[in-house]
Amino acid sequence: MNIARRPRVGHIAFLNCLPIYWGLARTGALLDVDLHRAPPDELSRLLVAGDLDIGPITLVEYLRHSGDLLLIPDPAVAADGPVLSVNLVTKTPLAELPAAPRVSLASTSRTGVLLGRMLLEDRYGRKPSYTVTEPDIESALRDADAAVLIGDEALHVFHAHRTPEPGGLHVLDLAAEWKDWTGLPMVFAVWAVRREYAEAHPGIVKDVHLAFRDSVQRSREEIGEVVASAARWEPFPPAALAEYFERLQFGLGERHLAGLREFASRASRYADIAPLRADGPEFFETPGGIGGARIDPEPEIRL
């Protein structure tokens, strides 16, 4: 009997991850992982607790637990400018927001809400009081002047209020604000592996990494199909989905790492987050390098 178990891998239950997982179904790699689909706060908790082996973790929780984790360079959920789905939603224009506004923070978010706090306090000079609420707009704005929302709900609110109307809500894209403030991309979620799992199963980690890399590449090549299949089930028109997937970035380049480090150094002033090591973040070392032989070799295809 084969007693090996599949790696337990997280899947954020948001549209933004569709292009990351799309290709796993196309290549069959989906059958080699035990996939858990949940909101990002839940996935982060499971990875930190050791109930998942590899997968997405919101940047703030990665920074809190970086000693137990190794970063995988892609995928990631990032944006260099507007992301459309991490928003500060206000009842008045930002300039008219009270000096001490009541601000709701979506319960599913750790990174977007901390970014919102940084901007409100350090950039816009407010002294908010915060409440964590359910992640939908009605709950969030019931007793508040403003709310930080993420994911599909934030994307809905963005589209509903894209064209400002008298008495309507105001939507501020926090990744765009971050870029304006720092000149850098914003990284919302990274993929990480538990350190002990990486030590015990480096070949599996490498294969999972390469499967995700292939998947994202395939999605980019077949983006029309990704959009068409999402549009069948999701309440967004194809053009909105195409625009969204165009905005999202799914890997960590040098500028993303600079953005990540900048966020980490500011974050340690707000929350119980230790500064990153000077040479951090620490990456999973792919055995044989990314271009090296696969642990589970595939026949080479020659044309």
Ligand X SMILES: C=C(O[C@@H]1C=C(C(=O)O)C=C[C@H]1O)C(=O)O
Encoding tokens for residue 108? Answer: 């599913």
Comparison of 87 and 286: residue with beta carbon closer to ligand X? 87
Site for ligand X in 167-196 (CB under 6 A): 188-189
Residues in contact with ligand X, shown as a per-residue x/- string from 210 to 249 under the rule CB under 6 A:
----------------------------------------
Comparison of 29 and 149: residue with beta carbon closer to ligand X? 149
Q: Which residue is nearest to ligand X (CB)?
A: 112
Q: Does 111 bind ligand X (CB under 6 A)?
A: yes
Q: Does 206 bind ligand X (CB under 6 A)?
A: no
Q: Does 201 bind ligand X (CB under 6 A)?
A: no
- What's the rounded Cα separation, in Å, for the pair 244 and 210? 24
Q: Does 20 bind ligand X (CB under 6 A)?
A: no
- What's the rounded Cα separation, in Å, for the pair 107 and 127? 20
Comparing CA positions, the residue from 10, 31, 32, 25 lying closest to residue 192 is 10
Q: Do residues 88 and 172 make contact, with C-beta atoms less than 8 angstroms apart?
A: yes
- Which range, of 12-20, 166-174, 176-184, 265-273, touches ligand X by CB under 6 A? 12-20
**β-strand 86-90 against 170-173: which pairing, if any?**
antiparallel
Q: Does 40 bind ligand X (CB under 6 A)?
A: yes
Residue pointed to by tokens 């858990």:
36
Comparison of 151 and 204: residue with beta carbon closer to ligand X? 151
Q: How many residues bind to ligand X according to rule CB under 6 A?
A: 18
Comparing CA positions, the residue from 16, 83, 37, 39 lying closest to residue 236 is 16
Encoding tokens for residue 82? Answer: 């507007």
Residue from 8, 11, 64, 110 binding ligand X (CB under 6 A):
110
Q: Does 87 bind ligand X (CB under 6 A)?
A: no
100 Cβ partners below 8 Å, 6+ apart? 126, 127, 128, 129
- What's the rounded Cα separation, in Å, for the pair 188 and 227? 22
Task: Read off φ and ψ for residue 8, nearest 5 degrees.
Answer: -90, 115
Comparison of 204 and 252: residue with beta carbon closer to ligand X? 252
Residue from 72, 146, 147, 150 binding ligand X (CB under 6 A):
150
Q: Write the burial class of residue 135 (CB in 10 Å: 0-12 exposed, 13-18 middle, 19+ buried).
A: buried
199 Cβ partners below 8 Å, 6+ apart? none
Residue from 11, 16, 133, 174 binding ligand X (CB under 6 A):
16
The CA-based diameter of the chain, rounded to the nearest angstrom, is 67
Q: To the nearest whole angstrom, how small is the minimum distance from the Cβ of residue 88 to ligand X?
A: 12
Comparison of 24 and 248: residue with beta carbon closer to ligand X? 248
Q: To the nearest whole angstrom, how small is the minimum distance from the Cβ of residue 199 to ligand X?
A: 26
Q: Does 135 bind ligand X (CB under 6 A)?
A: no
- What's the rounded Cα separation, in Å, for the pair 22 and 37? 14
Q: To the nearest whole angstrom, how small is the minimum distance from the Cβ of residue 40 to ligand X?
A: 4
Residues near ligand X (CB under 6 A)? 12, 14, 16, 40, 58, 77, 83, 85-86, 109-112, 150-151, 154, 188-189
